[in-house]
Every structure is written in structure tokens, then in C-alpha cells.
Amino acid sequence: MDKAIIAIDGYASTGKSTLSKMLSSHLGLPYIDSGAFFRGITFLALEKGWINNENIYQEAIELGIKDIKIYYNTSDNKLILNEIDITDKIRSKLVSSNVSKIAKLPFVRFFILKQQRLMGNSFGMVMDGRDIGTVVFPNADFKFFFTARPEVRAQRRWEEMKANGYFLSYEEVLKSLMNRDKVDTERKFSPLKKANDAIEIDTSDLSLEEAFTILISKINYK
């Protein structure tokens, strides 16, 4: 597919990133994980002490991000910050529990928005996130919105974290997920919500293959 923009939004752990990657290789389009950018800034803010416990030093973040170079390498799905690969580090429990606070900040969103639009305009792509179909690419060629029951999402996230060496209880994962949903949907700038023209897919009772078949059929049908 040539230069199409496919926006995949929705709640955490609904299968967005796995299905976006499957779609990207099927259609021959690059895949971009927009959440990785927000996680990257959060990782940096934690390292630099710009967030510490409940304090967020907004001025330090706003000033600090002016000097950084952050990009997503679409050939191997790596997030590079100041020439260092931080792909694994951004999945930690600490980053996950702080990322929503950083993603709320308008100057962080604006900084990332500029990069997202540049990447999309040059190649076409599959991008997943929370506001891709509503704010980043409101004219995307295809828009999907993924949902699933919180218990199913928490179970998936718990299994994923265990496989990556992070040991948390299911209850902790569920609590953190629900908290993230709340902050993401209630924030003032670019909240998580379905675009009017997005196709909603509930993946609670679907296998990856079933969800993928639905995605492809919607794309072929249009």
C-alpha cells in the first residue's frame, strides 16, 4: 500500500501494537509506536530528577527536552534517545506508572506531535497511540479504535511483563492500568477517545488472528 496513514488508537493492552506490527508487515508500511516517545521522555525525566515521587518539575522538563534528539527507528522498532537505544528501559514499572503524568503536559505533546507528523508525511505508516486519529492525523486513510475489558487487558499486560522479567502481581497491574486509563481519558489535551469516523474493535474475546482478519477485511472493503 502506498503512503497510506493508518491510525490505531485505543486502551493499553488491547493488542494495538502487535496488530499494528502485523498490519505494517502485511501492507509494507513502516510501523511507529507513538507511546514509545512518551515513555522515552518519561524515562529521561526520571533519570534527570525532573519527576521525583509526586513532584513534576515542568519548567525543567520543558527546557530539558529542547536539547534532546529522540527518534523511532522503523527498521528495527527501536527508540533512540541522544544516540542511545532505550527500547528496553522504557518498559519498566517506574516508567509505566509515571508516563501518563508526562503525557498530560501540553509542551511534551506538542514536541512529540511535530515528530509524529514529520514521520507520517514522508512515508505513510501504521501508527498506534491514543490520539492519532483525533489529533495527530485527523485525515488518516484508516482509523481504528481498540477496546477490551480491563480484566482481560490486565491479564495480557501481566503476562507480557512477566515474560520481560518484571514481576508484579495481577492486582498491581490491574490497578496501574485502570489508573492510566483514567488519566489518559480525562486529560485536557488530546484525551484518549474514539474519533467519530474510527472503526471500533473489542478484542476481549478475539485471538490475534481473528482481530487481524477483521482489520484487513475493513481495509479491503473501504
**Site residues (vs ligand DC, CB under 6 A):** 12, 34-35, 38-39, 99-100, 103, 129-132, 180, 184
Of the pair 35, 120, the CB lying nearest ligand DC is at 35
Q: How far is the CB of 220 from ligand DC (least distance, A)?
A: 26
What minimum distance in Å lies between the beta carbon of 159 and ligand DC?
Answer: 15
Please give the Cα distance from 123 to 76 (Å, whole number): 16
Q: Which is nearer to ligand DC, 29 or 136 (CB)?
A: 136
Closest approach of ligand DC to the CB of residue 9, in Å: 7
Q: Which is nearer to ligand DC, 176 or 217 (CB)?
A: 176
Nearer to ligand DC, 64 or 191 (CB): 191
**Residues 132, 8: contact at Cβ < 8 Å?**
yes
State the nearest-atom distance from the C-beta of 130 to ligand DC, in Å: 4
Which residue's CB is nearer to ligand DC, number 156 or number 215?
156
Q: Beta partners for 72?
A: 79
Measured from the CB atom, the residue of 126 and 184 that comes closer to ligand DC is 184
Work out how close the CB of 215 gets to ligand DC at its nearest, in angstroms, rounded to a whole number. Answer: 17
Q: What angle do CA 117, 157, 12 make, to 5 degrees?
A: 35
SS3 readout for the chain? CCCCEEEEEECCCCCHHHHHHHHHHHHCCCEEEHHHHHHHHHHHHHHHCCEECCEECHHHHHHHHHHCCEEEECCCCEEEECCEECCCHHHCHHHHHHHHHHHCCHHHHHHHHHHHHHHHHHHCEEEEECCHHHHHCCCCCEEEEEECCHHHHHHHHHHHHHHCCCCCCHHHHHHHHHHHHHHHHHCCCCCCCCCCCCEEEECCCCCHHHHHHHHHHHHHHC
Residue 122 Cβ vs ligand DC, minimum distance, rounded to whole Å: 19
